[in-house]
Structure 1
């Protein structure tokens, strides 16, 4: 089959998943639809696995992983993260306790490899899943290959409803008490505008930073540097890529959301999702069924750890559990789920425009920062370190 036809089939599946996700306000995640449809097509033979293995998009997507991670490091300005330090610490507390419980309890019931296979995806999103899946394949642990993908597809169904329920309860307290909590509102300023207010400029002249090609060149420099440093130090390229992105944004080498500014985020995410589809090649229905018991154990124990850790962090900073727990639970779904939940809660709980705005202003920043801390940063570090221990 011609590559264009294979790409059309894959992108059609992704588009269908996106339509269902938008229609249900992310209650049915795009990736859940994509993984389920692709898996059924593989198992029935309607879409031969060899077609995916031969698709140039798979190689292209794999090459883009370190480049995308550099971009992730530029997504949220460091000053915003620092202002939301409570959300960062609460989220990290939840991640650490969740990881500790999974690595302690799961090996007693199953084995250490099973714990590692589930811990990376549970504490983050698509990047941590890819790191874990590729690491298991390289280690020859094909019997565990189904665990990350099943955890990855089911964790949304636990995290999003639970977060929505708790945030709805918390929103009721915002509605009744104007002095309930302090929050950081977003004034809509871009990083460039904020940089100008502080009298800072980019490393390169502004006219060059408006070029899509220059921005992509800078991202590829960061990705290539991360791969080179991996070979030099043995530290996973994902950690280096994330550090390069964050550092580059701080020193104004990269603008905020660099890949989006280069108008390249759409095709990049498509190829990345195709890499996820490729990871299903070789996984059988029997392996999925056999993985369900350990997956349920990982999700239950891991989620319990996140909740307990968030409650501990909430106690330290005097946050209500109904606010602290959803912030940490963003590890299970990330963006755009975190934003959509806040938007839905503010609209359903706020009785007028003023109340809706107050609810939105208080919740959107910590939820987005929670998702960034866990999915974008924490999970990449966790998955990269854990996969090196098996």
Structure 2
């Protein structure tokens, strides 16, 4: 099949998932719809098994995956991450506890390969799943295990999002009824100040030029790939670190790949990599992966929640907010934003109160999601895959 037809078919499933997610206000994950749909169509013989390969999206993934991780480093300003250090520690605690719990239970029950297949996707999102799937495929792992990361990614948000909604709602109601919300809003207004000036500032003609921004991102990805050989550090981790550093000094702008209008096609390549095992997998492969998937979700979800709760108590933070921050590892952006916005809208009694609630919860949730999904999970997936 010609590449343009194959790419249109793959993007049709991705677009369907996005539409369902928008209509359901993120209650139904877009990736669940997209991957389940293409799997069913492949089982019915309505799409060829080579549709992903023919679309050339895997080649786009190969070119843009490290620049994409460089872009991930530009999502949250370093000063914001430093200010929300509790969120960072809580998210890391939840992830590490989940990984240790999975290692203790999944490896003896199944295998180290099952552990690798579940740990990265559970503690992160689509990029970590793509790295894991790519690594498992390259290592020649059995197809029943290669399909596992996609299944974990599909299902992990279903238990996590309702629990987060419940916890955030309790936290927001306590803030509102205790009078603490007004104090937080006044403190935030007093602390408001102009952003620090960057060491490097590009002229507006370059900073707003799509092709120049794409060039900067590709250069960052190229440097990370080049440094991976002598340092023996995975290029994915180097790309992430370089993205954070480059954005902090002003060498690249925040959300660099989005500014270059190339983020969408890069993400399509990542989704295609994750979809690929489902298109070629047999029903027996999926059935064989169901039990490991359920155990990974239960054990990992408990580990994330427990690790977040312990860190929250040690840091003397509110448990409802801290556990919500830890749970962002299981769904990430934009679900963390949508959930917070929905809770603020439903709990706030007027527009000012809704804005105050959102300001009180959103930075912690976004930083928690970035720490786990965009950063921590990439490190975990990269390290674990290197042992295959």
TM-score normalised by structure 1 residue count: 0.93
Among 243, 256, 259, which residue is 1:258 paired with?
256
**Counterpart-to-counterpart distance in 1, 2:156 and 2:241:** 27
Could you say which residue in structure 2 is the equivalent of 1:61? 61
Stretches (4+) displaced over 6 A: none
Residue 170 of structure 1 pairs with residue 171 of structure 2 = yes
* Matched length: 384
Could you say which residue in structure 2 is the equivalent of 1:292? 290
**C-alpha displacement of 1:120:** 0.5
**Counterpart-to-counterpart distance in 2, 1:272 and 1:163:** 26
**Counterpart-to-counterpart distance in 2, 1:133 and 1:39:** 16
Say if 1:42 and 1:48, in contact at 8 Å, map to a contact too.
Answer: yes
**Counterpart-to-counterpart distance in 2, 1:199 and 1:297:** 48
**Counterpart-to-counterpart distance in 2, 1:281 and 1:235:** 32
Could you say which residue in structure 2 is the equivalent of 1:24? 24
**Counterpart-to-counterpart distance in 2, 1:201 and 1:77:** 14
**Counterpart-to-counterpart distance in 2, 1:90 and 1:165:** 19
Q: From the superposition, tell whether residues 185 and 257 of structure 1 become closer, same or farther in structure 2 (CA, over 3 Å).
A: farther
**C-alpha displacement of 1:22:** 0.3
1:271-286 equivalences in 2 (<5 Å): 271-286=269-284
Among 219, 222, 237, which residue is 1:221 paired with?
219
Cα RMSD, aligned residues only: 2.0
**Counterpart-to-counterpart distance in 2, 1:321 and 1:201:** 38
1:136-175 equivalences in 2 (<5 Å): 136-142=136-142, 143-175=144-176
1:343-382 equivalences in 2 (<5 Å): 343-382=341-380
Could you say which residue in structure 2 is the equivalent of 1:127? 127
**Counterpart-to-counterpart distance in 2, 1:272 and 1:262:** 18
Which stretch shifts more, 42-51 or 269-278? 269-278
**Counterpart-to-counterpart distance in 2, 1:205 and 1:115:** 48
Say if 1:102 and 1:298, in contact at 8 Å, map to a contact too.
Answer: yes
Say if 2:167 and 2:320, in contact at 8 Å, map to a contact too.
Answer: yes
TM-score normalised by structure 2 residue count: 0.94
Q: From the superposition, tell whether residues 355 and 203 of structure 1 become closer, same or farther in structure 2 (CA, over 3 Å).
A: closer
Q: Secondary structure at the match of 2:50?
A: helix
Where does structure 2 lack aligned partners over 5 or more consecutive residues? none
1:191-340 equivalences in 2 (<5 Å): 198-202=196-200, 204-340=202-338
Where does structure 1 lack aligned partners over 5 or more consecutive residues? none
Q: Secondary structure at the match of 1:280?
A: helix
**Counterpart-to-counterpart distance in 1, 2:139 and 2:267:** 26
**C-alpha displacement of 1:203:** 5.2
